[in-house]
Every structure is written in structure tokens, then in C-alpha cells.
Amino acid sequence: MTPGRYVWHNGKMVPWEQATVHVAAHALHYGSSVFEGIRAYDTPQGPAVFCLGAHVRRLFDSCRVFRMEVPYSPDQISQAILETVGYNEHRACYIRPLVYRGAGAFGLDPRKAPTEVAILTLEWGAYLGPEALEQGVDVVVSTWRRMAPATHPAMAKIAGNYINSQLMTMEARDGGFAEAIALDVEGHVSEGSGENVFVVRDDVVYTPSLAHSILPGVTRQVAITLLRELGYEVREVSLPREMLYLADEIFLTGTAAEITPVRSVDRIPVGAGRRGPVTEKVQKAFYDVVSGRVPDRHGWLTPVRSARRSEPAPSPGD
């Protein structure tokens, strides 16, 4: 990765190499942090953050589930995100807001540790490779299941949940696959290690509902909106595993993955074994919006120039 020069850390802009935490931080030992993944895109009007309001809302929703009191308002976090992108002079970037428990307690009640906030930016291209956006990726159904109800809160983007995703990813890569898809505790299709799943059959688009241990993806909702505008029926339902083998098309959505087609599952080709027409249409609609080629009729793009700078950036030598 190519990191930004500065990190917004507890209300101050500090050089990247100085944005550190203590080894006793509660989050380091117990995974007690909440985060978001956001992208800023290069548009003719300058860099713009995609779905900023939806991401910040989900950040605060996750903190609410995890009983974390954020020491800043949603508007302050939104402005800090825009400010960080601006300070780092990105044209396009990946943004990682992080709310975490710092040093101050070793017990399992995380509320006894202080809550800290950081916002990082870095330049990051296509998550599964630029060629994947057209050629698609090979995936495997993971042996690791998604968490059962009332174990981990799947609707919250809590760092500790991602141990499951890491195990899925390592298993997939060791088997020669680009990504994994997990089933839920009852054997229904859930999601990828960091993406939501869409299945197309006979021009109807299916995606697992919130009841199947999925994160309510921001890009997932964008894709649903665009698909319906394109005239496709979208159903949020329970999907048996075999639907992955009978699909005409499958694609994954997420901030990092954007909209990535799947060309095979468990070495069984999906449809013709390449990106299908529905995936291509929704991809085009997505990239037309984020690149500024068409009007932003949903208000998904927030220009970075709207940031209110509160203080001059320090030099790296300060």
C-alpha cells in the first residue's frame, strides 16, 4: 500500500509514522475496535468521497452495538475524513476510520479503556486485481461458517469479527482461489470474506438477506438501487449452496472489491465462465457515477473541497 502522509488521530493531524498506539491497547489484545472502509474517487470536479453519510452512520451504528461512546459527532467525523483526504492530496484513495479501545485496562469489560479515533488514507487499486473486474475471479465455498445468531453481531463492523474472514481468506489462497464464500450456520449462502454476494438466474438477481449473518454493505445497497433502476428484479432471500452452481452470473460487492464478477465456484464455471451482461451493466452504472461521468442523482459523492480545515498540517519533521 502507499499510505497518506498524515493521519487524523484523536482530533489532530499527525505524520503517518507518528500515529502510534501503546502495546497495551485493549484493541490489540481483544479486537475491541470498530472500523469502516470508504473510497474517494477522482472526478472532473476533484476527489469525492463515495457514500460518506452511509459509512459514517454504519460506523456509529456498529459502535452503538458494541457499547462504544464515540467522542466526536457524526458531522465531526465526516469533516475529519474529508480533511484527511485533502491534507494527503489524494486524487483517489481508500479511507479507514477506526474507533478503538486504547491502553488503560486489561479486563474483558472494554468500557474501562479509553476510546480513541483515527482516520487513515492510502492509495489502493482494485482489491482482487484490475483484471478481475472484467475476467472475474475463482472462489471456493469455505469450510469456515459465518457466526451464528447471538454469538457475534454480524451487522456491526467490529474488528474481532474479521478473524473469521482471515481464516476464510487464508484457506482460499492456500487452495489457489482468489476469494471465499461462507455459508451461515444453517448452510445458506452468507457472504465473502469482505464482500456481499449477488446471484443472477434468468435475469432475476438474488442476494442473501440480513438474517443470514451478513454485514449490511453500503456498496450492496448501491448495487441494489442501480439494478432496480436498470429494470432488474432484486430479491433479498435465503439462498441454498447449490444456487452458486446453477447461477447464470455471480458478482461480489464491497468498498474494496467494488463490483467484481465471479467466474467459478469450487472450480465449477459460473455461466459462460466470464463476466455476464447483468454484472457488466451494473458495473458500468456504478463506475459512471463514481467517476463523475453521469449526474450524481442520489447524492452519493461528497466533494473533498467541502472540508473545513481546522489547523495547518504539521510537517513530517515536527
Catalytic positions are 157
Q: Identify whether the C-beta of residue 84 lies closer than 8 Å to the C-beta of residue 1.
A: no
Phi, psi dihedral angles at 109 (to 5 degrees) = -85, 105
Is 247 within 8 Å of 202 (Cβ atoms)? no
DSSP assignment, residue 146? P
Contacts of 110 (CB under 8 A, 6+ apart): 26, 30, 32, 66, 67, 68, 101
Residue 265 to residue 178: CA distance in whole angstroms? 11
144 half-sphere exposure, CB direction, 13 A CA radius: 20
With 0-12 / 13-18 / 19 or more C-beta atoms within 10 angstroms meaning exposed / middle / buried, residue 206 is buried
